[in-house]
Structure 1
Amino acid sequence: MPSAPSPGPLATPDPSADPAAVAGPGDIAEPTSAPPVRRTARPLAELPGDPLALDPEEMRRLGYWVVDQVVAHVAGKGSGPAVRVGDPGDLRSTLGGPVPSEPGDVQAAMEALVDVALPHMQHGDHPRYFARVPGPSSFPAVLGEWLGTGHQAIATSWGGGSGPATVELVVCEWLASVLGLPESTEGVLLSGGSMANVTALVAVRAVLGEGVAYLSDQTHSSIARGLRLLGWSAEQISVVPTGEDLRLPVEELRRRMAADREAGRRPLVVIATAGTTNTGTVDPLEDLADLCAIEDVWLHVDGAYGGPAALCAPGRDELAGITRADSVVLDPHKWLFQPYDVGCLLVTRPGVLERAYTMNPEYLADVTAGTGEVDLRNRSLELSRRSRALKLWLTMRGYGTRALADAVERGIALAEHAEGLLRADPFWEVVTPAQLGVVTFAAVGATGEDHTRAAAALSDDGYAALTTTTLHGRSVLRLCTINPATTGADLEGTLTRLAAYL
């Protein structure tokens, strides 16, 4: 602690001053008049009490109304359209206008949200929402989210949130165990796969230095974007073309690593995918782990979509080799049935995240963790961190891994059922078989424009939503079937209506 400054000339007592104003040895000086308080606000006495306080009974009434609306949505989520897009002018006429200056009717405002804002979006929890990757949230997860929000739960420092921090650490340990990762694995929860993958790549480069990152042409586009924005140069991003199987080719990867070493570049990290967004394909993780071990290269696995498949036996077989990864990402708001948002980064090399991210400025000195305690702010770039773990913890405690595994396996079985329907109908051609809940297909003789038009028409009529994508230049239709509420009849009805639009 710095010593106090020595008194300057202006601080020297004046012997001619009033003796009562100058304390001698052993004396107690009389208090001097305090300088006036500089006022920028009205005096406190002139201001009302807490202007944001609500009566507890009113809070209960409003809260019960919200519960009723959410339960009605969850119970009847298959009765409305899978996706609805609104007109900008119509939405703004109800939701916009000048900024409110006076108190309004909270009940009426909530009704506007339920009646106008919330219906106009993709409903990822709809049983016939097959586009992109659905988000079929479970109700216990919603309850956990409410508890965290209502208690203003924070998970930044141990001193400021040891309870929520413990829940997050436990959840990360549970997820690592489900994936078969080592007990020493450390984790952190983030907003989703994009931020979790970037957080891993920042840590790898911060701790190990610069080098080349290898990925395939099927790697999620957010990763290449993240690498560029993190400062990887063009020659440090090696995109390896895939073959017909759409998997990262190990021999071509080996050749590229050798060429980079010959050119004076250091192979740093291989980015594999466990469940690509396009087709659900899993890269050859065992072979990639062997290569990375030989080459002393970090193996990162993006399992944002497919990682939770490790819960069930069919998924574990597909993901063999993920246990040898140096880091893994998964998105519980996809196949672990959580509300948006929550992603997870798991790192099997202890201490890497803290070495990359630790920040202990003077204004946080009183909340710095001690032995055995963890400051989660030192595992990513986030400082202010809400507790994302409560909902996942409550889901896992409430259902147990057995029920969750059955729900995941049902998603895999639904895609395989859809594949069977497609193969039985000569109108369709299966392009890639069902893999981790994804199947792609095409109408025989249809063009890409035909597919796009039919998918849009299906979404517009409200029955179901699916998307098109492109595989090596070929337009295909795509179903992602991870919602356990989906039925075989839902799939049959979707394909029948889709065919009618082609």
Structure 2
Amino acid sequence: MIPEPAAPPAAALRSPYRPGELALSPEEMLHAGHRAVRLVVDRLRNLAQDRPHAVADPATLRALLDESLPEEPGDLTALLDHLAADVLPLGIRFDHPRCFAFVPTTGNYPAFLADLLASAFLSVPGAWLVGSGPTRIELTALSWLRRLLGLPDGWGGLFVSGGSVANLTALAAARDHHLAGDLTGARLYCSTQAHPSVARAAHLLGLTRDQLTALPPDDTQRLDPHALAARVDADRAAGLRPFAVVATVGTTGTGAVDPLGELARLCHRHGLWLHADGAHGAALALTDRGRPLREALGRADSLTVDPHKWLFQPYEAGCVLVRDPSLLRNSFRMARHHLDTGYLHPAEAHGDEINLDDYGPQQSRGLRALKLWLSLKTFGAAAFRRAVDHGLALCDHAAARITDHPELALVTAPSLGILTFRYRPPRGAPAPPAPEALDGLQHTVSRAVCADGRAMILTTRVRGRSVLRLCTINPATLPADIDTVLELVVRAGRAATAAGEGAARGNGRPGT
């Protein structure tokens, strides 16, 4: 007869692990947890007073962080303070109200807590057996996202790390559906303005570089349906096998939206898969202004959305949605890829259970959907619609100020909260700079504004020329923040122009 185990000492009941073995006392956990929350709240409360960008050189960071493997325990609360003060702030602060670089993301407090809970509860929405509650949360969040975007019933998918994996997942389904494992002569089409993740997805899917056809955009930086149709016809005539088109809903450079309606008709006519990369721009469909986009999105075969962009979630929170979710399952279901079926057989879904690891490349999956679920439940969908509208209004404000200023020139009009413009010297300058010099001036202005420390603005290229770019989607940004960055641009442009003129005069003096 096996004896009953002795009751553990009272101290051991305070933790799921033996004290000192990957465990802290409840008092220590609460103390560190309270400190962590205080650090988060202080950061959010004081963010506008900080610089939008901070960086340290590699030598400084090596001295700070390149250390021996710790063998003995440390003070968790002190370590949290160290990270919050010396390490984590080193980078772009995407939620700063005067950070206009790339596509800013803000996150929100309920979503931060969602990440904490999902990690602590080891929530895995992979197999129903492993995480039925987390799976139901993700399915609900997917349903809400579908409704927010106005997609038809029947669409489904899953949350992934971001737009790169969402594009890869959708294009894998397109490949399997249209090519049946034979990549011979396959052709995938996009614009040169498409995100680099499209090219990386093609590479990972086994396509060579010449099997991805990137077409030059039209004058509005959009994929030209007529040029695409001509290329598809020519490729078919040459015996090649076109199978999919990627339409971008919000290019990263200018926010351009490829003509989804025309592309959908073309793809339907040619039997091609249409994937809409709406990582940033699909969120426009939340608003009244973006309502016409809803019908167009619904005509795609698959869609990428990044809630960690214009739906104000922390990283990582990407999503892939598909008109026919069974096509994802055809590509990724675990039974298709089993080598040893015995180990995973107990986790197979039964009845109306759903195993989300059958729908994408990950088996072990974090509960990314909880961020969106909890923030929508906390704030309500109407708050998200207002926040998206706010970003559009800020961009319109910036365009009006740029248009009215004699030293600023709008290059691309507001689109999805993104615009581009250039600083140009005042008319009193001795001579207009050459195009190359004007390109260099934009980079000089960008560097000067960032060095000032009050705002961050970067450059991109449009039709071969360097331009300044604003992305205004932060709901904490005010019109005054827009005015500040434009004032800094003008000051920097004037200073750079004056310095250039002085150098030119100096070079013209005898003996210099």
TM-score by shorter chain over 0.5: yes
1-structure distance, mates of 2:18, 2:423 = 68
Pick from 224, 229, 240: which aligns with 1:249?
A: 224
Identical amino acids, percent of aligned pairs? 41
1:485 aligns with 2:476: yes
Q: State which drifts further: 448-457 or 413-422.
A: 448-457
Which one-letter code corresponds to 1:464 in the other structure? A
The 5 A counterparts of 1:90-109 are: 90-109=60-79
8 Å Cα contact 1:94/1:112 also seen in 2: no
2-structure distance, mates of 1:225, 1:448 = 29
1:198 aligns with: 168
Which one-letter code corresponds to 1:469 in the other structure? T
RMSD of aligned Cα (Å): 1.5
1:469 aligns with: 460
1:218 aligns with 2:201: no
CA-to-aligned-CA distance 1:349-398 (integer Å, 9 cap, x gap): 13011100011432111111112111111111111111101111011111
Pick from 234, 258, 276: which aligns with 1:259?
A: 234
1-structure distance, mates of 2:351, 2:243 = 32
2:508 aligns with: none
1-structure distance, mates of 2:491, 2:342 = 66
Q: Which has the larger radius of gyration?
A: 1
2:260 aligns with: 285
1:320 CA displacement: 4.8
8 Å Cα contact 1:189/1:343 also seen in 2: yes
1:412 aligns with 2:392: yes
1-structure distance, mates of 2:138, 2:392 = 28
1:458 aligns with 2:449: yes
1-structure distance, mates of 2:29, 2:159 = 31
The structure-2 alpha-carbon separation of the partners of 1:188 and 1:205, relative to structure 1 and needing over 3 Å to count, comes to same
Count of matched residue positions in the alignment of Structure 1 and Structure 2: 456
8 Å Cα contact 1:133/1:277 also seen in 2: yes
Pick from 319, 326, 349: which aligns with 1:369?
A: 349
1:171 aligns with 2:146: no
1:419 CA displacement: 0.3
1-structure distance, mates of 2:314, 2:255 = 22
1:233 CA displacement: 2.4
1:156 aligns with 2:126: yes
Pick from 53, 56, 78: which aligns with 2:26?
A: 56
Where 1:112 maps in the other structure, the secondary structure is helix
2-structure distance, mates of 1:198, 1:400 = 31
1:332 aligns with: 307
The structure-2 alpha-carbon separation of the partners of 1:186 and 1:62, relative to structure 1 and needing over 3 Å to count, comes to same
8 Å Cα contact 1:285/1:320 also seen in 2: no
TM-score by length of 1: 0.88
1:127 aligns with: 97
Pick from 414, 439, 456: which aligns with 1:448?
A: 439
8 Å Cα contact 2:150/2:294 also seen in 1: no
Pick from 44, 56, 79: which aligns with 1:86?
A: 56
1:399 aligns with 2:379: yes
1:50 CA displacement: 6.0
8 Å Cα contact 2:31/2:77 also seen in 1: no
Where 2:115 maps in the other structure, the secondary structure is helix
Pick from 143, 146, 152: which aligns with 1:182?
A: 152
CA-to-aligned-CA distance 1:58-86 (integer Å, 9 cap, x gap): 10111011001101111221110101111
1:494 aligns with 2:485: yes
CA-to-aligned-CA distance 1:447-496 (integer Å, 9 cap, x gap): 22221122122222221112100112111100000001100100101111
8 Å Cα contact 1:250/1:288 also seen in 2: yes
Where 1:334 maps in the other structure, the secondary structure is coil
Where 1:218 maps in the other structure, the secondary structure is coil
2:427 aligns with: none
CA-to-aligned-CA distance 1:75-102 (integer Å, 9 cap, x gap): 2211101011112222222223111111
2:504 aligns with: none
1:350 aligns with 2:330: no
Pick from 79, 87, 92: which aligns with 1:117?
A: 87
Which one-letter code corresponds to 2:445 in the other structure? A
Which one-letter code corresponds to 1:500 in the other structure? R
2-structure distance, mates of 1:104, 1:398 = 36
1-structure distance, mates of 2:172, 2:148 = 25
2-structure distance, mates of 1:363, 1:448 = 60
1-structure distance, mates of 2:171, 2:354 = 21
Q: State which drifts further: 188-197 or 368-377.
A: 368-377
1-structure distance, mates of 2:451, 2:356 = 44
2:249 aligns with: 274
1:217 CA displacement: 1.0
What are structure 1's unaligned runs of at least 5 residues? 1-46
CA-to-aligned-CA distance 1:160-206 (integer Å, 9 cap, x gap): 00111111111111111222222111111111001110111112112
2-structure distance, mates of 1:48, 1:408 = 49
The structure-2 alpha-carbon separation of the partners of 1:320 and 1:498, relative to structure 1 and needing over 3 Å to count, comes to farther
CA-to-aligned-CA distance 1:33-52 (integer Å, 9 cap, x gap): xxxxxxxxxxxxxx976611
8 Å Cα contact 1:315/1:436 also seen in 2: no
1:319 CA displacement: 5.7
1:235 CA displacement: 3.7
1-structure distance, mates of 2:351, 2:205 = 33
2-structure distance, mates of 1:441, 1:428 = 7
8 Å Cα contact 1:274/1:306 also seen in 2: yes
1:110 CA displacement: 1.2
1-structure distance, mates of 2:402, 2:446 = 16
What are structure 2's unaligned runs of at least 5 residues? 1-16, 336-340, 425-432, 494-512
1:236 CA displacement: 2.1
1-structure distance, mates of 2:201, 2:157 = 20
Pick from 362, 371, 394: which aligns with 1:382?
A: 362
